Amino acid sequence: MDISRWAVVFAVSGAFPASAVAADAQKIFTQGGANPAAMACSTCHGADGLGMPSAGFPRLAGLSADYLTKQISDFRSGARGNPIMLTIAQALSEDESKAVAGMLAKLPAPTVKLVNRAQTAKGPGEILALRGAWDRDIPECVACHGPGGIGVGATFPPLSGQSAQYLTSQLNAWKLNTRKNDQDDLMGHIARSLTDAEVEAVSRYFAELSK
């Protein structure tokens, strides 16, 4: 037996374990993962990753890769409930999750008006966004989510550039405790402190910032 030949074969095959092979993020996004249950992201989130507002599917383009990876992990574990995403997340491998999250983070995000607390606030949505309601221990949205709600790091996702329908659905999920994957129940407290009219007003305010 040619020991040297087998040594070379072993070295080559062992140098590239399956987990080290980079997942094809574009293929996952447009065609789905290796597991057929991991359907293409673009089916619901659009070819540009900007979502499908009329159907309530959020934009993923431009969101933090770490935030997206955490959400996939939370869907997979059930920490964030969604029957569609539960199946998809459980079908994606860790490598596939990280690859597609990294690709989505690099896609162009909508242009947003960078309003902040120095802006004059008028109307219930804008007042909540820029001033909060401190008599109810509700901080202004831009304090955590940044100017214009563009998002800050891996913890606070963008609010602007999302549809009012999606933002409303998430605030209601926090309110009903069907979504609870935030730290120290901060969003749960805020959502439960808002009236239905306030939820709709602040959601509409951020949705319109990117128009």
The secondary structure of 57-126, three-state, reads: ECCCCCCCHHHHHHHHHHHHHCCECCHHHHHHHHHCCHHHHHHHHHHHHCCCCCCCCCCCCCCCCCCHHH
Instruction: With beta carbons less than 8 A apart as the criterion, state whether 109 and 158 touch.
Output: yes
Residue 45 marked in a binding site: yes
Residue 103 marked in a binding site: no
What is d(CA 205, CA 66) in angstroms, rounded to the nearest whole number?
26
Residue 52 marked in a binding site: no
Q: Dihedrals φ, ψ of 179, to 5°?
A: -120, 125
The number of angstroms, rounded, from the C-alpha of 122 to the middle of its chain's C-alpha atoms is 29
Residue 187 marked in a binding site: yes
* DSSP state letter for 179: B
Residue 189 marked in a binding site: no
Q: Dihedrals φ, ψ of 93, to 5°?
A: -80, 165
- Please report how many Cα atoms fall inside a 13 Å half-sphere around the Cα of residue 18, on the Cβ side: 4
Can you say which residues are annotated as belonging to the binding site?
41, 44-45, 85, 141, 144-145, 187
Query: What are the binding residues for heme c?
Result: 41, 44-45, 85, 141, 144-145, 187
